[in-house]
Amino acid sequence: DGGITQSPKYLFRKEGQNVTLSCEQNLNHDAMYWYRQDPGQGLRLIYYSQIVNDFQKGDIAEGYSVSREKKESFPLTVTSAQKNPTAFYLCASSTGSLPGELFFGEGSRLTVL
Amino acid sequence: AQSVAQPEDQVNVAEGNPLTVKCTYSVSGNPYLFWYVQYPNRGLQFLLKYITGDNLVKGSYGFEAEFNKSQTSFHLKKPSALVSDSALYFCAVRVSFWNTDKLIFGTGTRLQVFP
């Protein structure tokens, strides 16, 4: 079945540690996105990539990094510079052409202790 | 600024009654609008979208949405609510200009359907 796979589902880390969240898609989509979800704040865009080897900062990119070396993969690293990393992280993809609805993974919940 | 607003944090409705979840938007040009649903600890599921054409858009699970250009609204509706419809609903608008192409989401509305 085609879809988006995020791993791990739950992740616990100590403060000061970098963590990498995996996102893989087999939908042959060009565009991929990372969103952060916090209670009462909706979804906020961290980074997005419209094509391999290229990505743009979203609204809250500070403290995060990404890479897009393969079309199907868009990992997100939460660095120690991110002040409040505990959140639910959602990866999504789209064909890249309009209207461009997003297809989401099941999310990764990161808790920093 | 391009944005989307969901004015209600929570909507309560009795099972069998009609439901409406409100969304208003502010974009330049023609809007591409979306509704998504999220169940606890899950990703978002696409419900429906408006591109152009008929103002009433039909989507998954019996949901529909009404586009109103003059009121810049895109309210989600269902004629008869089910308890299983209880979830978090997000409205979104696509923003495309220069080298930016992304969805902006509202803050979400929690729908509670009581038996």
Tell me: the pLDDT tens digits for B59-101? 999 999 999 999 999 999 999 999 999 999 999 998 877 667 7
Beta bridge partners of A54: A51
Please compute the mean of the pLDDT values over residues B23-51 and round it to a whole number.
91
> For residue B43, how many other CB atoms are within 10 A of its CB?
22
B13 min Cα distance to partner chain A (Å): 21
Is A56 in Cβ contact with B100 (below 8 Å)? yes
The C-alpha angle A85, B45, B113, rounded to 5 degrees, equals 100
Q: What is the pLDDT of residues A5-40, one digit of tens each?
A: 999 999 999 888 999 999 999 999 999 999 999 987
Is B94 in Cβ contact with A100 (below 8 Å)? yes
pLDDT-derived band at A98 (thresholds 50, 70, 90) equals: low
The whole-chain average pLDDT of chain A stands at 92
* Chain A residues near residue B49 by CB distance under 8 angstroms: 99, 101
Is the pLDDT at A99 greater than 70? The verdict is no
* Chain A residues near residue B74 by CB distance under 8 angstroms: none
Is A98 in Cβ contact with B102 (below 8 Å)? no
Is the pLDDT at A81 greater than 70? The verdict is yes
**Contacts of residue B113, Cβ cutoff 8 Å, sequence gap at least 6:** B12, B13, B14, B15, B19, B81, B82, B83, B84, B85, B86
Rg (CA), chain A: 13
Does residue B96 or residue A105 have the better pLDDT? Answer: A105
Contact A56, A34 (CB under 8 A): no
Contact B37, B47 (CB under 8 A): yes
Q: Which of B49, B105, B107 sits opposite A101 (nearest CB)?
A: B49
